Amino acid sequence: MLKSKTFVKKTRSGGVMKIVREHYLRDDIWCGSEACTICKQESTVLEKDACSDSTICPYPHYLIPDTNVVLHQIDVLEDPVIRNVIILQTVLQEVRHRSAPIYKRLKDIIHEKEKHFYTFTNEHHRDTFIEREPGESANDRNDRAIRTSADWYGQHLKTAGPDGLKVVLLTNDQGNKQKAEESGLLVHRFEEYIKSLIAHPELVDRLALSNDDKNEITSSKVLFPEHLPLSRIQAGIKAGSFLQGTFRASRDNYLEATVFIQGESEDGTEVLIQGLQNLNRAVHQDVVALQLLPRNQWVAPSSVVLQDEGAAKDDNGDEEDEGKVLISTAETARKPTGKVVGIIKRNWRPFCGMLNVSQIKESTRHLFTPADRRIPRIRIETRQASTLAGQRIMVAIDGWPKDSRYPNGHFVRSLGNAGEKDTEQEVLLLEHDVPHQAFSQAVLSYLPKMPWAITPEDMEKREDLRNLTVCSVDPPGCTDIDDALHCRELENGNLEVGVHIADVSHFIRPGNALDREAANRGTTVYLCGKRIDMVPELLSSNLCSLQSTVDRLAFSCIWEMTHEAEILKTRFTKSVINSKASLTYAEAQMRIDDTTKNDSITKNLRGLNKLAKILKRRRIEKGALTLSSLEVRFHMDSETHDPIDLQTKELQETNSMVEEFMLLANISVAQKIYDEFSECALLRKHPAPPPSNYDILMKAAKSKHVDIHTDSAKALADSLDVARVDGFPYFNTLLRILATRCMMQAVYFCSGMDSDFHHYGLASPIYTHFTSPIRRYADIIVHRLLAVAIGADSTYPDLMDKQKQSALCNNLNYRHKMAQYAQRSSVAFHTQLFFKNRGILNEEGFVLFVRKNAIIVLIPKFGLEGTVFFDSKDKTGPKLVFDEEGPTLMVEQHTFHIFDKVKVTISLDDTNIQHQKIRMSLIHPVIPGVSVSASDIEPQTKKPRLDH
Amino acid sequence: MATVQVCEAEKVYILHGIRDDLRVDGRGCEDYRHMEIETDVVSNTDGSAKVTLGHTAVLVGIKAEIGKPRPMVPDEGYLEFFVDCSANATPEFEGRGGEELGMELSTTLYKVFNNKHSVDLKSLCITAAEHCWVLYVDVLLLQCDGNLYDAISIAIKAALFNTKIPRVHISVDEEGGKEIELSDDPYDCMRLDVTNVPCIVTLCKVGHRHVVDATLQEKACSVASLIISVTQKGTITCVRKVGGGSLDPESIFEMTEAGKRVGKALHAPLIKLLQQEESLGKKRQKVGFLG
């Protein structure tokens, strides 16, 4: 049967078009129920015995949710308890139209067999298709279609199925429900139904708040200005009166945010937003429209650290002071300031965090504090507050009405008890968007079949370097060895040096599931005591890993050098190697130092070491920077995996030996692939920081009467080298730490999309990553490019497409950044664990930064940074005078400068389990009323024995 | 135009018959042949109608599009005509054979219909001097068996009656930019007032008399015809003479009087029929082209 669907559409050019689609109705669409005796279906989805323990529907039944129920309550629908659901095509189409992510989740549920979700194509069914009536809105028509289908199902099951099998329509729409009741359908509000599942009270918490519920919660007082409708925002942006950008909340101050405007100018501008009203319910990462304030209302970013600590019911509490905080001072420091007028795209995701249990005992409404400080607290409703307290949970935001201080949300799932290592690890992986699920079957199917061996065909195409004395040097416990080295004297007296890199691109072929997964993950993430692999373990720790005494495929970069490390010849080749030894840095160092050893491996190492020193010296002469950041390493207890000691990483000569050759290989490869593919070479650059970045460094150095020149990398390196202060040996390291913070992020880019290739930190005109293909995807691409360049492999279209290449670079840069953050958080968490076990410690440290109301102190011994606050909310703080020029902070009589030596007590503040943090309080200098006396409990004197 | 060969004897026979008010197919001089009308036959137009008159068949489709008003009349929309002489109608139209006739027809139709006395052009205006509806009237000749003008005009009137123009709203933002907004209800549309839309009556001078709705044979016996467009009230809006021969003033007067009479009598049943069809709504059985 043929029907036609007609609708009118506006075309892009402003015209109006009538569109007619043919629409065929069929009589062979089956109901999908196992109980049905009429339909000639081959397989069924809906169970015959569809009982749930609902008290209002004690009979077996199928559920038919309407569109809004699916859109808002997908979290509940995902629960395994909800089964035997009929998803109508009308609903599916509407969901797809309204929200792509929810549509995807719905599709996932439908595909899951255990859920028994059936899609009924009611729009093409002869009996359930309806046409829109005159005067009926599209929504009303869809509601009617849903009711018609529910009715059809009811009748159908009555005649075709066993007695008592019914369908229940779930809707939250009052009008729809009433009409359904009038036509004799079984209908319930979704909340009603979920609440009737008495065996599963936890589901109630996952209900998203519907509109009328919200009204009860919040006062009628309007706290925020209305958001403008999208049409006006678009017109405003077109006219230039509004700006569009990504909202980035400040980590330190919940009343402040910046919006990056992607303007026509390349760099993009940054607009400051201050105050609750101006932030206007924007959440971190939303795309917002904003209006610039008149110039006389511009302010400077405040240096106050402010955390939202309000109590649970402070809806009408302290907004007086929140509204007009911070009238800023210095005219010069003022930045363009604006206010948010509308939201273009929300970027809400489920957030990890913890529950702030309400003080009122019976209350079911609680505030949820996300782990990410940039996310505002979220109000949720739950009856299991007592169970959830102390657990890490995930919460999704449902909406943020203009009369509510906090957004409303609902509980999604629990991750486990706070403070437990697994829970915390899960949290930080989720928060940093690190893909950490197990590899899917599709991905694993592309792994080579075991047992794997090098085939004669492989040998034919590759150079056999198994006779060379190759060895690898890595940190202890490393299983993914991706580089190995060799060095030998040639007959002509020159040296041959080879860097051999695991040939990952041999195993990962472009475009397959394995490749796509690796490209998405971008990098292996190293956390304390855990590694999240980019490629499956079989490759990372076995087939690709250049273990000793086994034959492995490699991609080699071989130079012929003079003894003065002048490169005479460079060549690249795919090869087969057999590593003679895998050493740790310390082992390698010992071999070099031990004069009695004279085996070939040791000679090899000595040769390499000698060359590396020359290379390093030459690099530093060219202006490469030696920067410093304190890296911490934990000694883990072998059984509990708790950290039992912590020390800053020590660097050995051999570290820098390996590094030197890796740099050399990277630079050689970068040059080669750029020469070959000037448009699509994947390179890495490190832009020179803008001069203003160095302000803090210059000011800090000046306070110790040291001059730092920042005109060029070379000048900076030189001035850092000579910067010393008598009687303050740690000064130089501190300066280097500060200098590191001034730097820009190094990024991957596609050579066809950029013109500035310079690597500032390494003082190299061109650079890329070639040496770690097991843990970085960028290296895999570089391998492929190089393989094409030397004719060892074939190319494929995406490799030569600079747009795609550029998109890939963006993902890689994002993943690298996130991996770094995740790593830092992991260290921070383990530091907390460490201090939890240690009790209170007194340590010496240095002031690293001075803020308006706090100083940030670095404890070199632990590589730990902490904040000492001088004001607190509840009591009147000491008199503080902040001088931005210094910058110095005067607390009562004492003035703090950068680099001041202070003594602090360190303890773990777990009074507030929501946010465990390291607390530092001042012991020395003694400031009455501010500093505390040194605690009596001295740290354990006897250190437990270390594992290694 | 399709022509038939008529021999002298036949001509005399036809001529004599008409003189006695009896035509070859039994009609009187002012009678039309059997006529069939169906509207809403092409779903992707905004209005359409199919008319068969004897063996003459025409299809009219109307598409409404947003355009810019003519500068002289900024507050009016307008109509555009295109007549497609399909080679289906007669082999003579093959290639560019029908072009001349098509041009002639469309100019005449433009003259007859595109004026504010026939169609309320002001109602087609959306915003003065900026946006108006332009009605593209496409006429397709499916079969030619004489009297094309009358059949086309009836079909156009029926199609205009059937036309549903989506209702639009103009929203003005603060910068003064105007945005056209469409109602999302497909039933929310504007109808045209067709009360004053004229019908064309073609009178064929055959011998000393004139006939309405001439067949091809009759046409072959005539030297000149008069095209008269008449409104419901009997107002004549346009008169045109076609054909090689000449007409004397007296017979022109007679012919216009007859045209008025016939035209008036044509409108009333036509409108009644259209309204009847409309009132059937969705229950109406569609005939289409194969019925």
Q: Would you call A394 helix, strand, or coil by DSSP?
A: strand
**Contact call for A135 and B185, based on CB within 8 A:** yes
Which of A7, A12, A16 to substitute to test the interface with B, most B CBs within 10 Å? A16
- Cβ atoms of A353 and A430 within 8 Å: the answer is no
CA dihedral for B280, B281, B284, B286, sign (positive or negative): positive
Tokens of A615: 């290379």
**Contact call for A8 and B186, based on CB within 8 A:** yes
Which CATH fold topology does A230-345 show?
OB fold (Dihydrolipoamide Acetyltransferase, E2P) (2.40.50)
Tokens of A730: 């740690």
Q: How many CB atoms lie within 10 A of CB A70?
A: 26
Residues in B touching A2 (Cβ below 8 Å): none
Tokens of A490: 């040639």
- Cβ atoms of A782 and A493 within 8 Å: the answer is no
Within 13 Å, how many C-alpha atoms sit on residue A851's CB side? 19
Residue A512 phi, psi dihedral angles, 5° rounding = -85, 175
Selection from A594, A624, A622, A592 nearest residue A609 by Cα: A592
**Contact call for B166 and A138, based on CB within 8 A:** no
Q: Burial level of A150, CB count in 10 A (0-12/13-18/19+)?
A: buried
A555 bridge partner residues: A501, A574
Mean pLDDT in consecutive groups of 10 residues from the start of chain A, 948 residues: 70 75 87 86 84 82 90 86 90 87 86 88 89 83 91 88 83 88 89 84 75 46 79 81 85 81 63 84 87 81 63 40 44 77 84 78 78 84 79 86 84 81 83 84 85 85 90 86 90 91 91 89 87 88 88 92 90 92 88 85 89 89 74 63 61 81 92 90 88 82 81 82 78 81 86 85 89 92 92 87 89 91 84 77 82 81 78 64 76 80 80 67 76 55 38
pLDDT of B108 over the 80 cut: yes
CA distance B259 to chain A (A): 38
Decide if B20 touches A, using CB distance below 8 A.
Answer: no
Distance CA(A243)–CA(A292), nearest Å, equals: 8
Tokens of A899: 């680099």
All structural domains of chain B with their residue ranges: 8-280
Helices (H) and strands (E) in chain A, counts: 27, 37
Q: Which CATH superfamily is domain A2-169 in?
A: 5'-nuclease (3.40.50.1010)
**At A523, which helix (H) or strand (E)?**
none
Distance CA(A798)–CA(A512), nearest Å, equals: 13
Residue B38 phi, psi dihedral angles, 5° rounding = -140, 135
Decide if B278 touches A, using CB distance below 8 A.
Answer: no
CA angle A358, A362, A368 (to 5 degrees): 30
Q: Which amino acid is at A231?
A: S
Distance CA(B58)–CA(B33), nearest Å, equals: 15
pLDDT score of A317: 38
A3 bridge partner residues: A23
Radius of gyration from C-alpha coordinates of chain A: 32
Which of B40, B42, B66 to substitute to test the interface with A, most A CBs within 10 Å? B66
**Contact call for A16 and B184, based on CB within 8 A:** no
Selection from A856, A837, A831 nearest residue A846 by Cα: A856
Selection from B249, B245, B240, B248 nearest residue B223 by Cα: B245
Strands A747-750 and A682-685: antiparallel
pLDDT score of A938: 42
Selection from B251, B266, B199, B260 nearest residue B229 by Cα: B199
Residues in A touching B164 (Cβ below 8 Å): none
Distance CA(B252)–CA(A274), nearest Å, equals: 86
**At B206, which helix (H) or strand (E)?**
strand B199-206
The distance between the two most distant Cα atoms of chain A, rounded to a whole number of Å, is 99
Per-residue DSSP letter, A759: B
- Cβ atoms of A920 and A905 within 8 Å: the answer is yes
Decide if B65 touches A, using CB distance below 8 A.
Answer: yes
CATH architecture of A839-939: Beta Barrel (2.40)
pLDDT score of B285: 82
Selection from A397, A340, A343 nearest residue A370 by Cα: A397
pLDDT score of A876: 61
- Cβ atoms of A768 and A666 within 8 Å: the answer is yes
Q: How many residues does chain A have?
A: 948
Q: Which residue has the tokens 């390349």?
A: A266
Ordered alpha helix ranges (H), B114-215:
148-162
Distance CA(B37)–CA(B271), nearest Å, equals: 11
By C-alpha distance, the chain B residue nearest A7 is B186
Q: Long-range pairs for A561-569 at CB < 8 Å and ≥24 separation?
A: A561/A494, A561/A495, A561/A496, A561/A497, A561/A611, A562/A494, A562/A495, A563/A493, A563/A494, A563/A495, A564/A614, A565/A611, A565/A614, A565/A615, A565/A618, A567/A668, A568/A494
Decide if B248 touches A, using CB distance below 8 A.
Answer: no
Q: Which residue has the tokens 């993943």?
A: A815
Decide if B46 touches A, using CB distance below 8 A.
Answer: yes
Distance CA(B8)–CA(A939), nearest Å, equals: 133
pLDDT score of A118: 92
Ordered alpha helix ranges (H), B20-141:
99-113
CA B278 to chain centre: 19
Selection from A371, A419, A416, A379 nearest residue A396 by Cα: A379
Cβ density class A521-556: b for 16+ within 10 Å, e for less = bbbbbebbeebbbbbbebbbbbbbbbbbeeebbbbb
Q: Which CATH superfamily is domain B8-280 in?
A: GHMP Kinase, N-terminal domain (3.30.230.70)
Which of B40, B41, B43, B135 to substitute to test the interface with A, most A CBs within 10 Å? B43
Q: Which amino acid is at A474?
A: D
Radius of gyration from C-alpha coordinates of chain B: 20
Residues in B touching A232 (Cβ below 8 Å): 173-174
Q: Which amino acid is at B269?
A: P
Q: Which amino acid is at A87?
A: I
Residues in B touching A136 (Cβ below 8 Å): 185, 187
Selection from B233, B153, B202, B187 nearest residue B29 by Cα: B202
Distance CA(B267)–CA(A270), nearest Å, equals: 71
- Cβ atoms of A827 and A775 within 8 Å: the answer is no
Distance CA(A472)–CA(A585), nearest Å, equals: 9
ipTM at complex level: 0.72
Per-residue DSSP letter, A545: S
Decide if B95 touches A, using CB distance below 8 A.
Answer: no
**Contact call for A239 and B175, based on CB within 8 A:** yes
Which of A1, A13, A18 to substitute to test the interface with B, most B CBs within 10 Å? A18
Distance CA(A125)–CA(A143), nearest Å, equals: 16
**At A611, which helix (H) or strand (E)?**
helix A600-622
**Contact call for A19 and B187, based on CB within 8 A:** no
**Contact call for A6 and B175, based on CB within 8 A:** no
Within 13 Å, how many C-alpha atoms sit on residue A844's CB side? 4
Residues in A touching B290 (Cβ below 8 Å): none
Residue B215 phi, psi dihedral angles, 5° rounding = -80, 175
Distance CA(A688)–CA(A660), nearest Å, equals: 22
Distance CA(A555)–CA(A506), nearest Å, equals: 10
Distance CA(B274)–CA(B265), nearest Å, equals: 15
CA A647 to chain centre: 27
pLDDT score of A629: 63
In chain A, % helix, strand, coil (3-state, to 5) comes to 30, 25, 40
- Cβ atoms of A830 and A634 within 8 Å: the answer is yes
A894 bridge partner residues: A891
With a CB cutoff of 8 Å and minimum separation 6, the contacts of A265 are: none
Residues in B touching A129 (Cβ below 8 Å): none
User: Could you say which of A10, A135, A241 has the minimum Cβ distance to residue B180?
Assistant: A10
Phi-psi category of A493—alpha, beta or left, where left has phi over 0 and alpha has psi -120 to 50? left
The answer to whether the peptide bond before residue A451 is cis (omega within 30 degrees of 0) is yes
Distance CA(A537)–CA(A532), nearest Å, equals: 10
